[in-house]
């Protein structure tokens, strides 16, 4: 059997991208254990604000409780497993499960159980049935990271020297810590592949840039302001929009 990674030849096996067995191993050995980015504190500025994110395949709720403490909860009811939050983001005083109506406060505590006296004879210990919270959470310059592994190394140790790149992204231009803010909503694509295609393509394959050429020529980049690239990266700027209704100038390459 060919090796998955052949360092001598500089090639990798396609099985890495399509093997279900490898994917399941990744879910258990990577996504269930490592520190994962969940969201940014600016997405939940006020108590009761929430943003639904994911950790691996698990849906999680990023929220801020009444004491302004930030939490990340598994988005699943402790009764029979229904998602307790079915919105992408918003504001709520409690998360009420749509199935049988159990309610959870923004600190995760179970606070409401329909027919508590009749069905549970007032004996259900609500303190034992709160939302499941991540094992560790950290707020790194406004970015919220979490892990399910209580034994995971600290976030700083885990990131090591990679933090310099986070700092560049999250810190203010004057060098002070934090200051970044998430603006606007979330763009989502449904792509029939597992996580590696997108991750590898975005982070490791700048070589494919030529494949976006038609987008650049037509000046229909996602920003709506023309091409996606810029002069800082050695790209020639397009001076006008081709056929853009607000601009009659011709493109210059
Ligand atoms: Fe949530 Fe029953 S599954 S209340």
Parts of the chain belonging to CATH 2.102.10.10 = 36-170
As a residue count, the chain comes to 253
**Residue 96 CA to ligand 1 centre (angstroms):** 9
Tens digit of each residue's pLDDT, the chain (253 residues):
779 999 999 999 999 999 999 999 999 999 999 999 999 999 999 999 999 999 999 999 999 999 999 999 999 999 999 999 999 999 999 999 999 999 999 999 999 999 999 999 999 999 999 999 999 999 999 999 999 999 999 999 999 999 999 999 999 988 899 999 998 778 888 888 888 988 888 888 888 878 877 777 777 766 666 666 555 544 444 433 333 334 333 333 3
**Residue 102 CA to ligand 1 centre (angstroms):** 6
- Judge if the beta carbon of residue 80 lies within 6 A of ligand 1: yes
Question: Which one is the CATH code of 36-170: 3.40.50.150, 3.40.640.10, 1.10.579.10, 2.102.10.10?
Answer: 2.102.10.10
Tally of CA atoms within 13 A in the half-sphere of 219 that contains its CB: 19
- Judge if the beta carbon of residue 101 lies within 6 A of ligand 1: yes
Minimal-distance CA residue to ligand 1 atom 4: 100
- Cα angle, residue 120 at apex, residues 116 and 125 outer, rounded to 5°: 85
Q: Which of 73, 74, 77, 84 to mutate to test the pocket of ligand 1 (most atoms within 8 A of CB)?
A: 77
What number does the ligand 1 atom closest to the CA of 84 have?
1
Its pTM surpasses 0.75: yes
- Rounded Cα–Cα distance for residues 64 and 117 (Å): 30
- Judge if the beta carbon of residue 83 lies within 6 A of ligand 1: no
What number does the ligand 1 atom closest to the CA of 82 have?
3
**Residue 201 CA to ligand 1 centre (angstroms):** 39
Closest CA to 62 of 123, 106, 115: 106
Q: Determine whether 143 is exposed, middle or buried from the number of CB atoms within 10 Å of its CB (0-12, 13-18, 19+).
A: buried
């Amino acid at each position: 059997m060919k090796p998955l990674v052949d360092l001598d030849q500089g090639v990798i096996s396609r099985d890495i991208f399509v093997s279900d067995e490898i994917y399941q191993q990744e879910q258990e050995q990577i996504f269930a254990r490592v520190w994962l980015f969940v969201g940014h504190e600016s997405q939940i500025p006020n108590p009761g604000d929430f943003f639904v994110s994911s950790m691996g395949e698990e849906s999680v709720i990023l929220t801020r409780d009444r004491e302004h403490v930030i939490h990340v909860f598994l988005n699943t009811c402790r009764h029979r497993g229904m998602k307790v939050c079915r919105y992408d983001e918003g504001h709520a005083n409690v998360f009420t499960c749509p199935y049988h109506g159990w309610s959870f406060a923004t600190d995760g505590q179970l606070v409401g159980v329909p027919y508590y006296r009749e069905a549970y004879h007032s004996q259900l210990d609500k303190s034992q049935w709160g939302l499941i919270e991540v094992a560790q959470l950290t707020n790194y310059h406004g970015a919220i990271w979490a892990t399910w592994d209580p034994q995971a190394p600290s976030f700083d140790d885990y990131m090591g020297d990679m933090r310099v790149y986070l700092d560049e992204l999250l810190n203010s231009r004057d060098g002070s810590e934090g200051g970044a803010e998430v603006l606007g909503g979330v763009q989502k694509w449904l792509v029939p592949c597992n996580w590696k295609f997108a991750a590898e393509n975005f982070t490791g394959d700048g070589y494919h840039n030529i494949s976006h050429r038609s987008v650049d020529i037509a000046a229909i980049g996602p920003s709506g302001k023309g091409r996606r690239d810029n002069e800082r990266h050695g790209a020639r700027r397009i001076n006008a929009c081709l056929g853009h209704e607000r601009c009659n100038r011709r493109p210059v390459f």
